[in-house]
Amino acid sequence: MLDIRRISTSRWWHKQKSWIFFGIFLFLVFVRISKGSFYKDFYYFISKPFWPGQFQKEVILKSIDQESLIKLNLLKKDNIRLREILSLQESSNIDRISAAVISRKTGGWWRQLILNKGSKDGVEIGSTVIGPGGLLGRVKNTSMFTSSVTLITSPESKLGVWVDRIQISGLMVGLGDDYPSLIIYSKDADIKVGDFVSSSPASTLLPPNIPIGIVQSVEDPFRAKKKAKISLFAQPHVIDWVQILKSKN
């Protein structure tokens, strides 16, 4: 009787053993077919209690916010700088008159533009003219339908300007070529190539802070009177549209 029980138990065990091996085989096949996704999901659940806590999450989010704020501030500064370079200072549309260039003399000694707006449009003698990039010149005379602009490259042009880095005023004189001369009457003026030049806040002829150009070269920096060549932002020989600002006088 005991032997019969042993034989029956042995058969049962062999059957169970076969099913266990078969189950393991199926599991390995499933893992192989799923390319480990089941294992990864399993690891997801067992590792969840050890994930970084809420404090670390807040630190990361705070860092992201700070990074975004820094980028936003940099973009704002770039936007302000570009608006200055492109002469997009905030002002009312009433203060400006858009005009087309209908004739130009930019290669000779007398440098000027002729515009299609005149006295009937509100253009006045002495009005400031700007284009993409910055200052171009001032209105010299007007007719009913047109106006003539003396460019800042003309020998007739003499304007007060401001060198932003060293916070000092100077005189910009046209020489009849593409590079006006900047004169600073100070032996201590540390003017350098690349310095930004704009219209002077103390000027009686121009609105303040209009971009003009950058210092291209400095002539004999050891003299008491400093001279430099200015590379202009606005290029009159390629500009077709300008804006006329109302005269301050």
Q: How many domains does the chain have?
A: 2
Quick check: is 212 in a domain?
Answer: yes
pLDDT score of 48: 53
pLDDT(194) > 50: yes
HEC letters along the chain:
CHHHHHHHHHHHHHHHHHHHHHHHHHHHHHHHHCCCHHHHHHHHHHHHHHCCCHHHHHHHHHHHHHHHHHHHHHHHHHHHHHHHHCCCCCCCHHHEEEEEEEEEECCCCCCEEEECCCHHHCCCCCCEEEECCEEEEEEEEECCCCEEEEECCCCCCEEEEEECCCCEEEEEECCCCCCCEEEECCCCCCCCCCCEEEECCCCCCCCCCCEEEEEEEEECCCCCCEEEEEEECCCCCCCCEEEEECCCC
Whether pLDDT at 53 is above 60: no
Domain that holds residue 133: 96-249
> What is the share, in percent, of the chain residues with pLDDT greater than 90?
29
Q: How many residues does the structure list for the chain? A: 249
Note the pLDDT of residue 81: 61
List the end-to-end C-alpha distance of the chain, in Å, as a whole number: 129
* 116 and 13 both lie in a single domain: no
Kindly state whether residues 6 and 55 are assigned to the same domain.
yes
> Within this chain, do residues 79 and 58 fall inside the same structural domain, yes or no?
yes
Residue 111 domain-assigned (yes or no): yes
Closest by CA position to 213, among listed 156, 169, 167, 152: 152
Task: Determine, yes or no, domain membership for 91.
Answer: no
Last residue of a domain, one of 32, 49, 83: 83
pLDDT band at 85 (very low <50, low <70, confident <90, very high): low
Residues 225-243 pLDDT 10s: 889 999 999 888 888 889 9
The mean pLDDT of 169-189, rounded to a whole number, is: 90
Q: Among 51-55, 80-84, 180-184, 226-230, where is mean pLDDT lowest?
A: 51-55
Asked if 148 and 77 sit in the same domain, the reply is: no
Of 83, 115, 150, the position where a domain reaches its end is 83
Q: Are 52 and 77 in the same domain?
A: yes
In this predicted structure, what is the pLDDT of residue 111?
Answer: 86
Q: Say yes or no: 130 and 209 in one domain.
A: yes
What tokens were used for 178?
A: 């593409």
CATH of the domain at 187: 2.40.10.340
Residues 103 and 73 both lie in one domain? no
Q: Do 65 and 113 fall into the same domain?
A: no
pLDDT at residue 188 tops 60: yes
Domain-located, residue 88 = no
Residues 62 and 143 in one domain: no
Same domain, 61 and 102: no
For the entire predicted model, the pTM comes to: 0.60
Comparing 221 with 187, the larger pLDDT belongs to 187
